[in-house]
Copies of this chain bind each other. A is one copy, B any other.
């Protein structure tokens, strides 16, 4: 059982910009740069694609991706000079499960 921090994950998801990025990651396939590895889950996007989809500047995207990564919601993968981000579904499933066991009784 992985250790997850409910408050940290909630806080990460509780920002509209970051939640939008999570939805993007869950629903988009990469279409630029080298293709990410086939990991069975979402294919992920690179920083530049997130910039394009959201219209945000680079440092802003970087900042939010770091928040998501540190919460364990997103996994990074360096591929050449690009960095891919994809959703860590294990964390989300643990999170959803723990919310229910800890708070619903």
Q: Which positions in A face B, CB cutoff 8 Å? A: 6-16, 19, 22-23, 26-27, 41-42, 87, 89, 92-93, 95-97, 99-100, 102-105
Contacts and interface: CB of A to CB of B under 8 A. Distances in A.
A91 to B, nearest CB: 10
B23 A14 contact: no
Identical subunits present: 2
A104 B27 CA distance: 10
Nearest to A103: B26
A100 B90 CA distance: 10
Nearest to A19: B7
B102 A93 contact: no
A22 B93 contact: no
